[in-house]
Amino acid sequence: MEVIWKWALKNAIEHDGKALPKAVLPKVLGERPELRENIRGLMEEIEKVVEEVNSLSLEEQKERLRGIAPELLEKKEVKKELPELPNAEKGKVVLRLPPEPSKYLHIGHAIGFYINYLYAKKYDGKLILRFEDTNPTKVKEEYYEGIRKDLRKIGIKWDEEVIMSERLKLYYGYAEKLIEEGHAYVCTCEEEVIRKNRWEREECKCRFRSIEENMDLWKRMHEELYPGEAILRLRGDMRSDDAAMRDPTLFRIITDEHPLQGKKYRVWPTYDFAVSIEDGLSVTHVLRSSEFLARTNLQNHLRSLLGLRNPTIIHYSRINIIGFVTKGREIRKLISEGKISGWDDPRLVTIRAILRRGIHPKTIERLAKEVGLSLAQTNLEWDMIAGINREMIDDLANRYFFVPDPVRIEVKGAPKVTAKLKLHPNHPERGLRVIKTKGVFYIPKEEARPGLIRLKDLYNVELKKEREGLVGYYAGKEISKEVKKIQWVTEENVEVKVLVPDGLKLREVKGLGEKGMEKLRKGEIIQMERFGFGRVDERKPLTIIFGHR
């Protein structure tokens, strides 16, 4: 039997060419649970195959497995490891996670953060969680703790935390150094003029102010000038082909209240300035996505002017998530329009949303290893996330019967049976679902048509169309490959609502679950047989969020 060969070969390859019948059995049963009915015969068959498999060389075993189930072979052999980092010394690597607390993180961020976390572990290094919160207009208080919580939930640990808005004095010091050395000037031009000059690569008159004048205006920025009246700019190169170098803004006046600092400051550094300093002061390796590539020149230049060391900067490909809204701005709009319920709405791929759908933290770790630091564009589709997640949760998810769109069927001649079904086919120790059946069942509407079916793990039923509707007749116990196995519940059942995310729609599938589902705990991940995996979101009424098939 091919299924035995497949698992015997895999087991042998994993154990230096020697398979164990006992290890093969649960794998075979996991795939073909109906074989349990003749377990002794099956075990004999497995022993025979294992003997044959063990007589082959490891190479021959691999060759055979490649022939019947290459997917099992590849997974073991292509064990993804992150490539070495350049200039990395064990114990001395410092990396950072840099969220802006203006939104919740999505799976793309999570993967990027995981890459940093895995490298910090690999080199016994230090990981800094750094809140880039120097734009008071965008930052909101709830996101600080929300982000920490999300990161903890997916298993990322950091060693130190930096809140950039607490370090403005430090940044001011560096700004003054630049002014005093003639590398920065206060520009009082109108915004439009500045934009036009950048486009036309022309300098403005402010560039020629004396250091004293600049220092005076810098002080006035903190005290009396209004937003838009003055900015501090780098004396860069207005003729540079690198647009970022054309006298970029280093500080601007923002009078909005900051969620942590209140009205304490009114002059705020730009992203490039603050980040250049932080990365230069404490970070050895910056791993970031390629959208930041254009900032590199400028940031390195700023550090050289400030006398700071340049970290090793590595860009990996931007991760696009296909078919989901990921931009903070767009999500905020959907929430305010009432089109989604919040940042944890299952139609999103924020960390909190995918956890609600039953995505396992290990799935994010695996994705991080697979995406690694690849420079090819990464398009992430739900199917890929689901494929990995299925492997991660298959073992932990207990099985239950859920019947969508249920149709009531009376089965004539039905024996009374006490069905004992395993919570998990490979884990008998988790116990049984004991269901007493009489003659009434509910099955999915799409299966309710004349013909022979098998009530899964129970018996066969012949469905016939009669005057009063569809009627079932008991049709024996023997198992046949051709007969479709259908999930079912009895009259002892519980109402279940499954929410299925579908683009920006959230389909509500109503149905019945077996009585035992009443005991499910919130947060539990289950497999609804023939329907899919999901996570319990509410206990009353029992609501499950669909993850994937």
CB of 302 to Zn ion, least distance (A): 20
Q: Which is nearer to Zn ion, 170 or 215 (CB)?
A: 215
CB of 209 to Zn ion, least distance (A): 9
Contacts of 6 (CB under 8 A, 6+ apart): 65, 68, 69, 72
CB of 347 to Zn ion, least distance (A): 46
517 binds Zn ion (CB under 5 A): no
* Span near Zn ion by CB under 5 A; candidates 50-58, 201-209, 312-320, 481-489: 201-209
Q: Which is nearer to Zn ion, 22 or 207 (CB)?
A: 207
204 binds Zn ion (CB under 5 A): yes
72 binds Zn ion (CB under 5 A): no
CB of 298 to Zn ion, least distance (A): 19
189 binds Zn ion (CB under 5 A): yes
User: Is residue 88 within 8 Å of 123, Cβ to Cβ?
Assistant: yes
DSSP 258: B
Which tokens is 214 given?
A: 């600049």
Judged by DSSP in three states, 55 sits in coil
CB of 331 to Zn ion, least distance (A): 37
Q: Which is nearer to Zn ion, 233 or 356 (CB)?
A: 233
Q: Which is nearer to Zn ion, 187 or 499 (CB)?
A: 187
Binding-residue total with Zn ion (CB under 5 A): 4
Distance separating alpha carbons of residues 7 and 241, to the nearest angstrom: 60
CB of 256 to Zn ion, least distance (A): 24
User: Is residue 400 within 8 Å of 529, Cβ to Cβ?
Assistant: yes
- Rule CB under 5 A: choose which of 94, 128, 206, 353 binds Zn ion: 206
CB of 163 to Zn ion, least distance (A): 32
Backbone angles phi, psi at 407, to 5 degrees: -120, 135
Residue with tokens 């840099």: 98
Which tokens is 190 given?
A: 């109108």
Q: Which is nearer to Zn ion, 147 or 187 (CB)?
A: 187
Q: Which is nearer to Zn ion, 204 or 526 (CB)?
A: 204
CB of 211 to Zn ion, least distance (A): 16
Q: Which is nearer to Zn ion, 199 or 323 (CB)?
A: 199
Distance separating alpha carbons of residues 523 and 339, to the nearest angstrom: 24
CB of 543 to Zn ion, least distance (A): 59
Measured N-to-C along each axis, helices 70-77 and 58-68 cross at an angle, to the nearest 10 degrees, of 130
Q: Which is nearer to Zn ion, 153 or 201 (CB)?
A: 201
Closest Cα to residue 309, out of 495, 457, 92, 454? 92
* Span near Zn ion by CB under 5 A; candidates 50-58, 200-208, 360-368, 408-416: 200-208
Distance separating alpha carbons of residues 201 and 247, to the nearest angstrom: 10
User: Is residue 111 within 8 Å of 364, Cβ to Cβ?
Assistant: yes
Pairing mode, strands 484-486 and 451-455: parallel
CB of 247 to Zn ion, least distance (A): 9
Distance separating alpha carbons of residues 501 and 532, to the nearest angstrom: 13
Which tokens is 240 given?
A: 């540079």
Site string for Zn ion, 76-105 (x = CB under 5 A): ------------------------------
Closest Cα to residue 53, out of 20, 89, 86, 88? 20
Q: Which is nearer to Zn ion, 209 or 315 (CB)?
A: 209
Q: Which is nearer to Zn ion, 185 or 546 (CB)?
A: 185
Enumerate the β-bridge partners of residue 407: 443
CB of 189 to Zn ion, least distance (A): 3
CB of 206 to Zn ion, least distance (A): 3
Distance separating alpha carbons of residues 231 and 233, to the nearest angstrom: 6
Distance separating alpha carbons of residues 372 and 366, to the nearest angstrom: 9
**Residue 501: cis peptide before it, omega within 30 degrees of 0:** no
CB of 264 to Zn ion, least distance (A): 28
* Span near Zn ion by CB under 5 A; candidates 55-63, 206-214, 415-423, 512-520: 206-214
Cα first-last separation, the chain: 27
**Spacing of C-alpha 3 from chain mean position:** 32
260 binds Zn ion (CB under 5 A): no
238 binds Zn ion (CB under 5 A): no
Q: Which is nearer to Zn ion, 132 or 247 (CB)?
A: 247
User: Is residue 117 within 8 Å of 369, Cβ to Cβ?
Assistant: no
187 binds Zn ion (CB under 5 A): yes
Residue with tokens 């630049």: 178
Distance separating alpha carbons of residues 408 and 444, to the nearest angstrom: 9
Distance separating alpha carbons of residues 20 and 27, to the nearest angstrom: 12
Q: Which is nearer to Zn ion, 76 or 195 (CB)?
A: 195
Q: Which is nearer to Zn ion, 204 or 250 (CB)?
A: 204
Which tokens is 407 given?
A: 């149709």
Contacts of 378 (CB under 8 A, 6+ apart): 317, 318, 319, 320, 371
* Span near Zn ion by CB under 5 A; candidates 181-189, 329-337, 422-430, 520-528: 181-189
* Span near Zn ion by CB under 5 A; candidates 29-37, 205-213, 224-232, 375-383: 205-213
Binding site for Zn ion (CB under 5 A): 187, 189, 204, 206
